[in-house]
Amino acid sequence: MAGAKAAARAEFFDSRVRGLALRVSPTAKSWAFHFTTAAGKRARLTLGPFPAITLAGARGLAIEAQAAVQSGQDPRTYKASVMSVAALAENYLAKHVRRNLRSAGQVERRLRKNVIPVIGAVRLADVHRRDINRVLDQIIARGRPIEANRVFADLRAILRWAVARGDLDRDPIAGMAAPSPARNRDRVLSDSEIAHLWDALPTALPRQVDCQRVLRLCLITGQRVGEVAGMRRDELDLGTRTWTLPGLRTKNGHPHSIPLSDFAVSIVERAIADAGDRSCLFALRAVAVARFVERAEFGLPHWTAHDLRRTALTQMAALGVEPIVLGHVANHRTTTRAGVTLAIYVKHSYEAEKRRALELWADRLAAIVGGSTGSVSPMRRPKVAV
């Protein structure tokens, strides 16, 4: 049964446990239990995906569901007794994550990589803190404390969702602390590291031209890697040298415009020429960029793609760019809309100031990667007559 294949969706019934079937489609396999309700209607209960739930595990779940039917109960009303963690995860992804979260792909990847293979077959009613720790301990053992924190947050969200829907009566993760203390990174590349990285990109990523361009644009524009990697033609106006991000593509959900320096435009134009008919300029996502950076050899102390954004903003600050302008460049509303004055009364968009800041940084960056110490003058506050 486990080797069953189908060109279209089909079901293969188990020869030992009546009602148990493996539902097969071209892209997935899942277990289901078919039964007849007390009203004489045919019904189906999803048990969870294969191979996260093995044949033996599916048979056990189906036998429990059979017992409920024989006692006059509908097994669908006793989800916690028959539903597995894997089945809950599939419901959560389909009914909540893919519909509501911009980070849906990342959440799904973490669940399929870290949770379902480890505790997918555990019955929802039996989930204990030790099961959560089984998942987290394996991630920490790989040296991934930040990923462990994110998976912990995913598990907390999915179990709260189950409680809210009535699939669980209690939250087994309530009161648990994140496995690793939250720490903000503070890595900023020095001028010499920037120059080294810029020159090393073609050698370190020889077959990943799109990745090279995304990383360079992250450094030039100071924007997030996911926003740069998802850059679309319809977001660009090369006539005014402006890149406009819709709210659906920003972390805080608010539209954001980024003035493009000549340095940035030169890379964008080459990307457009190579993209062909694609609406997206780059054929990769932020997750892929992170993987390439992690695996490649750059000859530098550990760094991440997000460190390039921090480096760009730090460099602009060193050049004299005001904090309020930096906030607008970064699309940080905690800065640009802090307090009543900025939130309610100041409606200035700071477009001109953003352009000056980004062009100032582009000139400085060109000097750094060109091997020169640069002759860019810092921004000075204008003197105000009193």
**Structure confidence at residue 132 as a pLDDT band (50, 70, 90):** very high
Give me the DSSP letters along 175-239.
Answer: TPPPSS----------HHHHHHHHHHHHHHSTT-HHHHHHHHHHHHH---HHHHHT-BGGGEETT
The string of pLDDT tens digits covering residues 301-335 is 989 999 999 999 999 999 999 999 999 999 987 67
For residues 208 and 247, give the distance between their C-alpha atoms in angstroms, rounded to a whole number.
28
Domains and CATH numbers, the chain: 10-82 (3.30.160.390), 85-165 (1.10.150), 191-369 (1.10.443.10)
Structure confidence at residue 377 as a pLDDT band (50, 70, 90)? very low
Indicate yes or no: pTM above 0.95.
Answer: no
Q: Which of 210-219, 284-293, 356-365, 377-386 has the lowest mean pLDDT?
A: 377-386
Q: Provide the 8-state DSSP code for 241.
A: T
Residue 44 main-chain phi, psi, to 5 deg: -135, 135
The least confident of 19-23, 251-255, 268-272 is 251-255
Q: Model confidence at 256, in pLDDT bands (50, 70, 90)?
A: very high
The tokens 């017992």 sit on which residue? 67
pLDDT of residue 372: 39
The DSSP letter of residue 94 is I
pLDDT at 382 (0 to 100): 38
Tell me the average pLDDT across 331-346: 65
| Structure confidence by residue, pLDDT tens digits, 291-307 | 899 889 999 998 999 99
Supply 286's token pair: 């932020």
* Averaged confidence pLDDT in the chain: 85
Residue range 41-98, pLDDT digits in tens: 898 888 878 887 778 778 877 887 887 788 787 777 655 455 788 888 888 888 888 8
